[in-house]
Amino acid sequence: MSGFIRAVRERFTINRILIAIVLIAAALGIASLVQGSTSSHEDHAVALVPTNALLYVHVDVDRDSSQWRSAQRILEKLPALARLRDQALGGR
């Protein structure tokens, strides 16, 4: 029975991490829209995304941007997401 409870806890933990990632991505996206920018970025890779895709994310990593600094402050409070970031970016 304790194995079942442990599995449920692990599942909820993974779900919480995924929800946090989505919320942070949404917050950064909204911040990007609010800040506005005079430069335009065309996303040519979008043509490769299947029409039935549920989600497409294009990420442009600019470590000198204010968005990156804001994300860093958030990740300092969420070490699990910081580890995911480090894995995605190949470490620091």
Q: Is the pLDDT of residue 51 over 80?
A: yes
Q: pTM for this one? A: 0.34
Mean pLDDT, residues 15-40: 74
Please tell me the predicted confidence (pLDDT) of residue 14.
76
Return d(Cα 77, Cα 92) in angstroms, integer: 18
Mean pLDDT, residues 60-76: 81
Please tell me the predicted confidence (pLDDT) of residue 24.
86
Please tell me the predicted confidence (pLDDT) of residue 39.
52
- List of residues 6+ apart from 10 with CB closer than 8 A: none
Please tell me the predicted confidence (pLDDT) of residue 81.
80
**Collapsed DSSP state (helix, strand, coil) of residue 48:** helix
